[in-house]
Amino acid sequence: MALDQGTNQDLPRRAMKAEMLDADTERALAYAWRDQRDEQALHRLITAYMRLAVSMASKFRRYGAPMNDLIQEAGLGLMKAADKFDPDRGVRFSTYAVWWIKASIQDYVMRNWSLVRTGSTSSQKSLFFNMRRVQAQIEREAAQAGETLDRDQLMQKIAMEIGVSINDVEMMDGRLSGSDFSLNAPQSSDEEGREWIDILEDDDSQSQLTVDDNHDREMLRDWLMTAMKGLNERERFIIRERKLIDEPRTLESLGQELSLSKERVRQIEAAAYTKLRRHLEQNVQEVHNFL
């Protein structure tokens, strides 16, 4: 039952009719794939355990993903498990494959939950798949004890129960509480109503702060270029090689090229910095006097 046949509505039914492998047959197929790269053995091993992939995929339908897509991801996880399975460890393939199948499905669900990446760390994944269940349990226990929990108390208890930070809980709560919507959606049912995108602050390159910052950077660049012209050719070379290239050179390498000692190169560099600083301070003073 190769995955390239497509995951259609008949696949779950066909998966349930696949052969059941005993431990010896399973081990023989695993050896054949690992040692000889026998594709027929791999195909038979995957086909036999596709029922496991389908069963695990069905447990994630509540997240709104199409069942066919979930089965496809489960099948990919099953293939990864078969490729990495080591029969010498004495573990049944189904026990080993469960982790890979679950991880593949969970990654797919989280990737497609929102346009905004929901999370990728182990703590974020644990929150995504367990937060609502843990929250319901805490609220149920509080109600049975006659307690009323405010939001902060609830977030703290969830964080303690799952073993993550409160910040992670609050972030995930926001992600799970809402869904994506188009910024081009109207704010009201009125046909003349503005779209949500119309009220977003314009933060493009024409904003005042950005313009001011670009102006200052350009002015500093001009000052530096003018100051560099006040250096002799050797000083400009050393400054450029030491500070203005992606991989700055060492004093020793420059000394070898210029037939100078490392200490002499350092002295020339220091003198050049003094000239540059004097020139830049003069420009700053002129601006101060102007203002």
Q: What is the pLDDT of residues 78-99, one digit of tens each?
A: 999 999 999 998 899 999 999 9
Q: What is the CATH number of the domain that holds 16?
A: 1.20.120.1810
pLDDT at 201: 52
What does the alpha-carbon distance between residue 124 and residue 171 come to, in Å, rounded to a whole number? Answer: 9
Q: For the chain, what percentages of helix, strand and coil (3-state, to nearest 5) are there?
A: 70, 0, 30
131 shares its domain with 164: yes
96 shares its domain with 131: no
Task: Say what the pTM is.
Answer: 0.46
Helices marked H in 178-261? 208-229, 233-243, 251-258
Asked whether residue 182 is domain-assigned, the answer is: no
Q: What is the pLDDT of residues 147-199, one digit of tens each?
A: 888 888 888 888 888 787 777 777 777 666 655 445 555 555 555 556 655 54
14 shares its domain with 95: yes
Judged on CB neighbours under 10 Å (0-12, 13-18, 19+), 164 is buried
Asked whether residue 198 is domain-assigned, the answer is: no
Compute the average pLDDT of residues 111-131. 62
Contact (Cβ atoms closer than 8 angstroms) between residue 267 and residue 254: no
167 shares its domain with 216: no
13 shares its domain with 68: yes
41 shares its domain with 109: yes
Q: What is the CATH number of the domain that holds 226?
A: 1.10.10.10
136 shares its domain with 173: yes
Total domain count for the chain?
3
Asked whether residue 186 is domain-assigned, the answer is: no
pLDDT at 17: 79
Asked whether residue 196 is domain-assigned, the answer is: no
Q: What is the pLDDT of residues 35-44, one digit of tens each?
A: 999 999 999 9
What does the alpha-carbon distance between residue 31 and residue 45 come to, in Å, rounded to a whole number? Answer: 11
81 shares its domain with 127: no
43 shares its domain with 94: yes
Asked whether residue 264 is domain-assigned, the answer is: yes
Range of the domain at 241: 208-290
Compute the average pLDDT of residues 48-65. 86
AA letter at 93: F
Residue 186 phi/psi, 5-degree rounding, is: -70, 150
Confidence of residue 7 (pLDDT cuts 50, 70, 90): very low
244 shares its domain with 165: no
Asked whether residue 200 is domain-assigned, the answer is: no
15 shares its domain with 109: yes
Beta bridge partners of 186: 195
Report CA torsion sign: 216, 221, 222, 226.
Answer: positive
Token code pair at residue 30: 């695993």
Asked whether residue 191 is domain-assigned, the answer is: no
Contact (Cβ atoms closer than 8 angstroms) between residue 123 and residue 130: no
Contact (Cβ atoms closer than 8 angstroms) between residue 105 and residue 57: yes
Helix (H, G, I), strand (E, B) or coil at 186: strand
Asked whether residue 195 is domain-assigned, the answer is: no
